[in-house]
Amino acid sequence: MLPKNMASKLSAEPETKKKETIFASKKAEELAKSQGIKPKGQGTGKLGKWTLKDIQLEITKKQAIEEHKQSASEESESEEDQESED
């Protein structure tokens, strides 16, 4: 049992809870938000948190998908142009 003066100090201190987050760092969270990345599932960080490297990988995937969509639409436009010339 604690002395009265120590016990009152412990109970008087407000509990500071950290905001629960799925990001391993503030930088990872900021990068994800700036790029519009909404992590799903678990990251590779401690306790499944999303690391900066995880976010960078997601950005790379997102860019690859966009490039693929763009090249696919250009190909379909090219095919339509060829058909209309015939």
pLDDT tens track, the chain, 86 positions: 666 666 655 555 556 667 789 999 999 999 999 999 999 999 999 999 999 999 999 999 999 999 999 888 887 777 666 666 65
Q: What tokens were used for 36? A: 């519009």
Q: Which of 35, 9, 41, 3 is nearest to 22 (CA)?
A: 41
Boundaries of every domain in the chain: 20-85
Which alpha helices (DSSP H) does 1-86 contain, by range?
A: 4-12, 26-35, 52-85
Helix orientation angle between 52-85 and 26-35, rounded to the nearest 10 degrees: 20
3-state class (DSSP) for residue 45 = coil
Query: Whole-model pTM?
Result: 0.66
How far apart are the C-alpha atoms of 35 and 66, rounded to whole Å? 13
